[in-house]
Structure 1
Amino acid sequence: MSSGVEQSSQARLRIGDWTVSPVSGQMTRGEETVRLEARTLRLLLCLAEKAGHVVSIDDLLGEVWQGVIVTPDSVYQAVTSLRRLLGDDPRQPVYIATVPRRGYRMVAAVSSPDQPGRPTVTQAAANEEFAPPAAPVQRPASGRLYTRLLAIVALLVLACLGFYLLTRPSLPAPSTTASVAPNPRSIAVLPFLDLTDAMNEEPFADGMTEELIDKLSQSRGLQVIPPTSSFYFKGKQVTIAQVAKALHVAYVLDGSVRKSGNTLRVAARLVRAGDGFVVWSQTYDRSWDDKLMIQDDIAGEVAKALNGSIR
């Protein structure tokens, strides 16, 4: 991990409306206090330490998941969870912006309450972000002639390719009667339903779903559909068979979250798409003390149970 992140792991940081305390692993905003899991905290510090700069997926894997072999999908899931804790909207971000095909950038102002003189964004980042475009380079006449020749050659190549495609023998159309069966160890995790009386635990239910996807993705031999595909079906009236056909999976895991007093109940079931039978189900009751620990605990138990149920 970079020296900047190591230094910020001791000093408090002001990130947008939040004050982050790395020592206690918490961040506060007014009367609101949120506890951060250790890896989520390292992700936040890494982005804050490079505020204004784009941090690539590889850099995040090297600094936040140092020594751990994970896929880039783990970065996506961690950023999604962090955005939820910050109250950020990825479509209109005020904290973490996605830079397509490059990585993520902290766009919120970052400062240190313990060091008032610290700038919010490094001058290098500001210069990188707002530097005026370079003046166009005037090409000599020989350069323009060379460009025209390249364009002519490209047109000739395209013409030859088009002629070949038009005159080549046609291949027989694939049979529509036979379809390729899904991998017998493929699974999709549907968003868990919030069935609490107040129906105000949807973020926890979504987090439960993402934790399950993350845990199952680490199981060798399992093919797990990513969250972007699974969450497409959130709130839609579809059957398990329709989901399995659309995502081309052999199993679908769904569940629900309920709450009674200080007890949380998470129910999960595994359905085999081929015949619609429930091959495994389990109910977990936990004390409503630490939501993040509950998610991690139940996700780990479900992953172990599914490894023995999916053949």
Structure 2
Amino acid sequence: MNTLTAEKLRVGAWHIDSNLGQMTRGTECVRLEPRMLRLLLCLADRAGQVVSAEELLEQVWPGVVVSADSVYQAIASLRRLLGDDPKQASYIVTVPRQGYRMVAEIGTWIAPDAVAPVLNSPKVNRRRLALLIGSSAAILVGAGLWWQNAPASHSSNGSTHAGRYQKSIAVLPFLDLTEYMKQEYFADGMTEELIGRLSKIPGVRVPAPTSSFYFKGKQLPVADIARQLDVNYILDGSVRTSGRTMRISARLVKADNAFVIWTETYDRPVDDLLKVQDDISENVTKALKAAIVH
């Protein structure tokens, strides 16, 4: 099967829709950037085979000059989206010094037939229908009571938000502001590295990468994001380059008033991107630890 031209594809437990640029698993829905989708399809097309970093560079980044670090970062980001553990991989296995191999089962995704509405069926059991209506009414009443007694949250209309945990922070995907977005996977890796480091601070709660990356590309008020993730702080940032210098900017925003309470800019050479990630994430974590943990 040529997965590169398939519109709907099943990769393990995920259903891939190439037209919509997204993948779903149960109630989960993850948006895939064009290159991320291309990377997934390339690996799926050669399922069971080892695909070298050079081959992936040619197929995923055609006509764009990028380093092998981009492949490493992209694979890490794709694993995160798939919920794959590199130590016990069920989707993508790293073959040392050779490349990567898709080990998940690949197949054609056949969407289930739509179920006709119950009310249109001539075989409706009236007793069951009455029970269904009664249950629905009970659920609605319960939801109304919960809503009336729920704590106030901040939304775009200006009401206040207060997360359940005072020391809680969400790291939003860093923006790639480089020309042609050549460092998108570095920015994603920077985000994931910060989530990992911040989550190790005692007493600080940090939403998982899957939750944070859900908001990638979405234009929402900081307070709305904080309310959905139930946090009191939001950390975001950006990546830019000039020649052989990379500039990483980061800022910390308080959710209840949307004020920036800390910001910093770091300039580093682009010789070793992984070293830059480690260096910046360590510096940012130290600064935020002082700002949040009192």
**What TM-score results when the alignment is normalised by the length of structure 2?**
0.53
Cα deviation 1:189-241 (Å, max 9, x = unaligned): 11011111332211111111111111111111110011111111111111111
Q: Does 1:178 align with 2:151?
A: yes
What is the Cα deviation at residue 266 of structure 1? Answer: 0.3
Structure 2 Cα separation of the partners of residues 222 and 249 of structure 1 = 10
Structure 2 counterpart of 1:66: none
- Supply the distance in 2 between the matched residues of 1:230 and 1:35 (Cα, whole angstroms): 23
SS of 1:224's equivalent? Answer: coil
Shift of 1:296: 1.0
- CA gap of 1:198–1:184, structure 2 versus 1, over 3 A, is same
Task: Tell me the secondary structure at the aligned position of residue 244 of structure 1.
Answer: helix
What is the percent sequence identity of the aligned residues? 44
1:84 to 51, 74, 92: 74
| 1:1-311 alignment, distance < 5 Å | 16-18=50-52, 34=68, 84-85=74-75, 98=84, 104-105=89-90, 173-174=145-146, 175-176=148-149, 178-179=151-152, 181-182=162-163, 183-310=165-292, 311=294
For the Cα contact (< 8 Å) 2:246–2:270, is it kept in 1? yes
Relative to 1, partners in 2 of residues 1:86 and 1:232: Cα closer, same or farther, differing over 3 Å?
closer
Give 2:231's aligned amino acid. V
Question: SS where residue 206 of structure 1 aligns?
Answer: helix
Q: Contact 2:240 / 2:248 at 8 angstroms: preserved in 1?
A: yes
Change in CA separation of 1:17 and 1:273 when aligned onto 2, cut-off 3 Å: same
Unmatched tracts of structure 2, length 5 or more: 1-47, 59-65, 106-137, 154-161
Q: How many residues align?
A: 190
Q: Can you list the C-alpha shifts for 1:54-109, whole angstroms capped at 9, x where unaligned?
A: xxxxxxxxxxxxxxxxxxxxxxxxxxx96724896888xxxx9959xxx6336679
Structure number with larger C-alpha Rg: 1
Distance 1:254 1:108, change over 3 A: closer
TM-score (norm: length of structure 1): 0.51
In angstroms, what is the RMSD of aligned CA positions?
4.3
Query: Aligned partner of 1:220: which letter?
Result: P
Residues of 2 paired with 1:293 and 1:109: CA distance? 21
